[in-house]
Amino acid sequence: MTIAGICIAGGIGSVLRFWLGQMISAKRNSFSIPIGILTINILGAFGLGLFTALNITNPSVSTIIGTGFFGAFTTFSTFSVEAVQLLLEKRVKESLLYTAITLCGCLVAFWCGIALLS
């Protein structure tokens, strides 16, 4: 049952990531860093913080939502590709900025999610 739940939640998370990424990219103005995945990862970290603060004691539910949905919604691999692509384009400042905002933003967002419900 847990595996099926992870598959379903992961499917929902990945589709939501794709859809939201497309929406953000379509409205993208003149950002010098990949704002779509940055926004998604920060939102996902905040959501996971909220979910963590709920302190769900059912391990299956925690795995399905935490690993399935949030694991598929957020994406470290795409962040890595985009950061390296900026470096390959010799846009070192943008890559460092993107990396710093992603890492700090996700940590702060996760903490805010926990703090909000604690």
Q: Read off the pLDDT of each residue in 50-78 and give the average, rounded to a whole number.
A: 95
Q: Is 4 exposed, middle or buried (0-12, 13-18, 19+ CB in 10 A)?
A: exposed
pLDDT at residue 29, rounded to an integer: 65
- Report the distance separating Cα 16 and Cα 27, nearest Å: 17
Helix (H, G, I), strand (E, B) or coil at 96: helix
- Residue 1: is its pLDDT beyond 90? no
Least confident range of 10-14, 25-29, 100-104: 25-29
pLDDT at residue 50, rounded to an integer: 97
Known binding-site residue numbers for Na(+): 71, 74
Known binding-site residue numbers: 71, 74
- Report the distance separating Cα 50 and Cα 18, nearest Å: 22
Give the pLDDT band of residue 26 (cuts 50, 70, 90): confident
Residue with the bigger pLDDT between 29 and 22: it is 22
Residue 54's domain comprises: 2-27+35-117
